[in-house]
Amino acid sequence: MYIIHSIHFLESVTMKVSTRVEYGLIALTDIVIHSSDGESISAPDISQRQNISRKYLEHILLLLRQAGFITAQKGLRGGYTLSRPADSIRLSEVINALDNNILSGMDAKDDGGELRAVINEHFWGRINDDLNRYTSDLKLSDFANGCRNNFSDTWDMYVI
């Protein structure tokens, strides 16, 4: 899965990405992919498709709604839709809304010696700068399209 692969790469490189961020990106991407005609997507459908606990997913959807990325619709055909176009949402916005520590700058701690400070600046600092740049430039629509393209061979989409 493109989303999971990208996030697991980030986890192995420099940081722990919280499940809140991981599942938030998955939920938003699921909404983009499955609401092509603007229909709302239910939490149970996302939960089932993405194998995420419904209770935990609903907590994440609440955070995404509070951050202004999605709107909730009640009723028989209720669910979630994006509150603005996917091409106006940057991944950095989503990540910062769900966990504002991931894209924050490195702490300049002076307790590790000069070599540690140099490594932090020239290695981890550059990775953090690249991650900031990458997520600031990447729109949710492009991210979802990349996911959709990677799944196109394995997805069976049924229209009833």
Give the whole-angstrom CA distance, residue 139 versus residue 82.
13
For residues 5-24, average pLDDT? 65
| Residue 138 and residue 29 in contact, taking contact as beta carbons nearer than 8 Å | no
Backbone angles phi, psi at 105, to 5 degrees: -70, 165
Q: How confident is residue 6, by pLDDT bands cut at 50, 70 and 90?
A: very low
pLDDT above 50 (res 23):
yes
Amino acid, single-letter form, for residue 22: E
Write out the two tokens for 16: 């722990």
- Give residue-wise pLDDT tens across range 52-67: 999 999 999 999 999 9
**Residue 37 vs residues 82, 108, 124, 137: alpha-carbon distances, Å:** 12, 48, 42, 26
Write out the two tokens for 146: 């990349």
Domain range summary for the chain, segments of one domain joined by +: 2-102+139-151
Query: Which fold would CATH assign to domain 2-102+139-151?
Result: Arc Repressor Mutant, subunit A (1.10.10)
- Give residue-wise pLDDT tens across range 94-143: 998 998 777 766 555 556 678 888 887 788 788 888 888 999 999 999 99
Query: Which ranges constitute the DSSP H helices of the chain?
Result: 2-13, 19-34, 43-50, 54-66, 91-98, 113-119, 125-137, 140-151
